[in-house]
Amino acid sequence: MRLQVFCEDRLGIARELLDILASREIDLRGIEIDRVGIIYLNCPEVEFESFSQLMSQIRQLDGVTDVRKIQFMPSEREHKELKALLEALPDPFFSINLQGKVDLANDAAETLLGKVRDDILGENIQSLVGFNTHQWLEKDNATTRSELVVLSGLDYMMEVMPVYVTDESEEQVLASAVILLKSLSEAKMPIAMRKLSGDNGFEHLVGQSSRFKQLVSQAKKLSMLDAPLLIQGETGTGKEMLARACHQRSLRREKPFLLVNCMSMPDNAAETELFGMAATATEPGKKGIFEQADEGTVFLYEVGEMSEHLQIKLLRFLQDGTFRRVGEEREMKVNVRVICSTQKKLPDLVASGQFREDLYYRLNVLSLVVPPLRERTADIVPLAELFLSQFAQELQQPKPHLTPDVAQYLSQYAWPGNIRQLRNVLFRAMTQLEGPEIRVDDVQLPENESTTLITEEVLEGSLDDIMKRYESGILSNLYRSYPSTRKLAKRLGVSHTAVANKLREYGINKH
């Protein structure tokens, strides 16, 4: 029980209250004294008769004007109110001590980290969000600071605020710090804040499969080298994001990262875009992409679509970094790293005479192959959770729950459009959602071979690539209805061995 005693401010009254408790063998758990003449006592509960006698005895003390039973001690009330306020915050919140250990965290922090409260409290904040408390205390003089961090693939603005208290000598003393994480969607993030340093580019890449981890490990090593890098993979696998991550980890990260889509521009426009235009009597000169990206990185998206004329000019540029603006005789030299991507098989294009062999070997000094989503099924659910979190931020609505049935349903699909298709499907489901969870009925995927995989994503690439994605999707969908190789072979009118080989090739299984 908690008692509130109104009394005069006289010497010894607190001692007399304690003597009454001791005479009745009532333990004192806590005492707080207010400057305006109120004493708060925290004691165990007693029976009604003993309680009545205790209240009467306290009222008889000289200077006591009233005594009441209350629900909370002042410090308890303040603590509970503060805790309730923090729990109501929609953004993740942490309170840390000067050793960097977490003292308080709210539900939003639990959800973000995927940990229960007991596993967060007492943990070092650096292992959770990457904030170095000791460096902040030593170098930043414990002042308020803001920085961009990436957690679980999402961007957050981390605000660190020092908490000062007044000691007995009225001096301000640093007691703790508060960390608030505010979510930022890519669409709303200022361009200046998208510049991440160090390893952060790779933190946007989410996955847990062995293929994904092997790819990221290899990419981190190659990103530090300065030679051309060729990234190969099917459409929608995230080649551009991987290229950006490699740039962010390189020594060029403070310089520009510029992208050129080799598929979207006619030949003459592409040459001007890449190498610039000479000045004329009426028009000033124009800098090309390579000139603008000096000391940085140029990403050539779908380099296999580049014309023979541009291939020759690119080859010369890669040899010594020199080029001429269109219509200009003077040579210019820049220092640029070139990263290329392609969904086509460049050796086949070389064999058919569509791509220069010498340029292929120049570009293929370092190479990465991004596996399709059907070959890294363990990454489908983590990617789905990431996309749902992103959409919840952008649409400003609660993140829906992904049911186990939906997780299994998504994992069994072949995803011919890869990560891009998965994102589009979930965005469509999110915009039409009415309840707190996504169900199988909310996910619109082709259900039969007549409609399977005929999407914009599938129609990209060579005929061989399109047919393989189409075949993979048909087998993946039918295997749910005919969950054995013999049944599926009978349904399709082919041999059991042929079906088994195809399922193995595309990584399709009933689980």
Closest by CA position to 231, among listed 300, 325, 288: 300
Q: For position 456, what pLDDT does the model report?
A: 43
Q: For position 229, what pLDDT does the model report?
A: 94
H or E element in which residue 157 lies? strand 154-166
- In whole angstroms, what is the distance from residue 424 CA to residue 443 CA? 10
- Please give the residue range of the domain that contains residue 143: 89-191
Considering the domain architecture, whether residues 365 and 224 belong to the same structural domain is answered as yes
In a domain, 82, yes or no: no
For 230, half-sphere exposure in the C-beta direction (CA atoms, 13 angstrom radius) is: 18
Give the orientation angle of helix 485-492 with respect to helix 463-481, to 10 degrees. 120
Of the residues 327, 347, 370, which one is the last residue of a structural domain? 370
Considering the domain architecture, whether residues 7 and 29 belong to the same structural domain is answered as yes
Considering the domain architecture, whether residues 496 and 388 belong to the same structural domain is answered as yes
In a domain, 261, yes or no: yes
In a domain, 68, yes or no: yes
Q: For position 360, what pLDDT does the model report?
A: 93
In a domain, 330, yes or no: yes
- In DSSP terms, 148 is beta-bridged to 157
Considering the domain architecture, whether residues 238 and 352 belong to the same structural domain is answered as yes
Considering the domain architecture, whether residues 33 and 168 belong to the same structural domain is answered as no
Beta strands in 167-208 (DSSP E): 172-184
Considering the domain architecture, whether residues 230 and 245 belong to the same structural domain is answered as yes
Instruction: Give the full edge-to-edge strand order of the sheet including 64-70.
Output: 30-34, 38-42, 2-7, 64-70
357 C-beta neighbours (distance < 10 Å), count: 13
Of the residues 147, 168, 191, which one is the last residue of a structural domain? 191
- What is the DSSP code (8-state) at residue 372? P
How many domains does the chain fold into?
4
Q: What is the 3-state secondary structure (H, E, C) of 239-281?
A: HHHHHHHHHHHCCCCCCCEEEEECCCCCHHHHHHHHHCECCCC
In a domain, 81, yes or no: no
Token pair belonging to 361? 């070997």
Closest by CA position to 150, among listed 183, 101, 174: 183
- In whole angstroms, what is the distance from residue 470 CA to residue 107 CA? 44
Per-residue confidence in pLDDT tens, the chain, 511 aa: 899 888 888 888 888 889 988 988 888 888 888 877 899 899 998 888 888 888 999 898 988 888 999 888 888 888 788 778 777 777 888 989 989 899 888 888 888 887 888 888 999 998 888 888 888 887 756 788 888 777 776 778 888 988 888 777 778 888 888 999 887 754 454 443 444 434 447 877 888 888 898 999 899 889 889 899 999 999 899 999 999 999 988 889 889 999 988 887 777 788 888 898 888 877 788 899 999 999 999 999 999 888 888 899 899 999 888 998 888 888 899 999 999 999 988 999 999 999 999 999 999 989 999 999 988 889 999 999 888 888 887 777 888 888 888 888 898 888 988 999 999 999 988 888 877 888 888 888 865 333 344 444 445 667 777 777 778 877 877 776 677 888 888 888 888 888 888 888 887 775 4
Considering the domain architecture, whether residues 59 and 95 belong to the same structural domain is answered as no
- In whole angstroms, what is the distance from residue 308 CA to residue 480 CA? 46
- In whole angstroms, what is the distance from residue 389 CA to residue 397 CA? 10
3-class DSSP state of 185: coil
Residue 411 sits in a domain whose CATH number is 1.10.8.60
Considering the domain architecture, whether residues 447 and 419 belong to the same structural domain is answered as yes
In a domain, 83, yes or no: no
Considering the domain architecture, whether residues 349 and 272 belong to the same structural domain is answered as yes
Helices (H) and strands (E) in the chain, counts: 21, 18
Considering the domain architecture, whether residues 332 and 217 belong to the same structural domain is answered as yes
222 C-beta neighbours (distance < 10 Å), count: 18
In a domain, 285, yes or no: yes
Considering the domain architecture, whether residues 488 and 359 belong to the same structural domain is answered as no
In a domain, 511, yes or no: no
- Cβ contacts of 104 within 8 Å, gap of 6 or more: 83, 86, 93, 94, 95, 121
Residue 306 sits in a domain whose CATH number is 3.40.50.300
- The answer to whether the beta carbons of residues 466 and 459 sit under 8 Å apart is yes
Token pair belonging to 400? 């829906």
Token pair belonging to 449? 């071979």
Residue 47 sits in a domain whose CATH number is 3.30.70.260
- In whole angstroms, what is the distance from residue 55 CA to residue 5 CA? 10
- In whole angstroms, what is the distance from residue 448 CA to residue 509 CA? 18
Considering the domain architecture, whether residues 24 and 59 belong to the same structural domain is answered as yes
Q: For position 166, what pLDDT does the model report?
A: 79
Residue 171 sits in a domain whose CATH number is 3.30.450.20
Of the residues 370, 400, 424, which one is the last residue of a structural domain? 370
